Amino acid sequence: MDKAPRNFGPAQAPGASPDTVPFGAADIPASEKAGRVGAVFESVAPRYDVMNDLMSFGAHRLWKAAAVDWLMPLPAWRVLDVAGGTGDMAIRIARRVGGPAAMAAAGGGVTVIDTSAAMMAVGRQRVAARGLGPAIEFCAGDAESLAVADGAADAYVIAFGLRNVTHPMRALEEAYRVLAPGGRFLCLEFSKPRWPLLGPVYDRYCDHVLPWVGGMVADDAEAYCYLGESIRRFPDQKRLAAMIEAAGFGQVRVRDLIGGIAAIHSAWRL
């Protein structure tokens, strides 16, 4: 059973009207996006982690490690891992601070919040297999409307999830609301390559290789067509940084990964 968490304006793509939002290459009614995204992740959940390794040639592991290194979590922190699905970031954070014993002694813990029951089922199995259950809990919830008290979290992490939210700006505003003063925000997301020769190669990879691998391994080429198209339409590093600032955060910093294929955005609630 999903537990309650520990007590702790939409961004429009070019061409979208105020009543529509991007879903891959298409603009759809905002009311439909959550359902469509949910269907994508219900379909790919059993093979999601394997696909991450294949799609990124294992680089996603290095990117997540870099994000946790920059986060520098402490055992006493109450961390929200939003859109954390299979628990990959939560596991890394719990291990980084010494595991369940260290977090329990300090009063900290990680809460994974996700809309996909299938993804969280995979996450619960992974967490239990590693003996991290006491440090990590799972909660069904929407990034745009978190069932978390104001100022109750010490850190908010979202890895490869903001792109799938119907209204990213609302999710950023929620992140600001739930963080305590001095709280840390960290977003790891696919972004826009800045190396001149990398962009065209990356576009071809997203257009052709991702759907082919998705069809062969996950038996769902359409889901991975959505992935490539959603990356293309998501705000670039500069625009996302501006959105984070507009949500109220200070000290916004960006680190590119592999020339900007992915990027980490860090900020603080001051």
Contacts 24+ apart (CB under 8 A), 44-49: 44/214, 44/218, 44/220, 44/223, 45/85, 45/86, 45/116, 45/118, 45/119, 45/121, 45/122, 46/118, 46/122, 47/217, 47/218, 48/85, 48/86, 48/119, 48/122, 49/86, 49/88, 49/122
Would you say 20 and 30 are in contact if contact means Cβ atoms under 8 Å apart? yes
**How far, in Å, CA of 113 to CA of 171, rounded?**
12
pLDDT digits (tens, 9 = 90+) for 59-108: 999 999 999 999 999 999 999 999 999 999 999 999 999 999 999 999 99
Average pLDDT, the chain: 88
Give yes or no for residue 10 having a pLDDT over 60: no
What mean pLDDT do residues 5-14 have?
A: 40
pLDDT of res. 16? 45
Would you say 51 and 228 are in contact if contact means Cβ atoms under 8 Å apart? no
**How far, in Å, CA of 237 to CA of 260, rounded?**
8
Q: What are phi and psi of 137, to 5 degrees?
A: -125, 160
Give the CA distances from residue 224 to residues 202, 204, 209, in Å, rounded to whole numbers and listed in that order.
14, 13, 9
Task: Please give the CATH topology (third level) of the domain spanning 20-268.
Answer: Rossmann fold (3.40.50)
Length of the chain counted residue by residue: 270
Would you say 240 and 189 are in contact if contact means Cβ atoms under 8 Å apart? yes
Structure tokens at 121: 């089922």
**How far, in Å, CA of 123 to CA of 112, rounded?**
9
Every domain of the chain and the residues it spans: 20-268
pLDDT tier for residue 214 given thresholds of 50, 70 and 90 = low
pTM above 0.85, yes or no: yes
What mean pLDDT do residues 175-204 have?
A: 91
Closest CA to 182 of 159, 153, 144: 153
Would you say 80 and 146 are in contact if contact means Cβ atoms under 8 Å apart? yes
Least confident segment among 63-72, 202-211, 215-224: 215-224
What mean pLDDT do residues 147-164 have?
A: 97
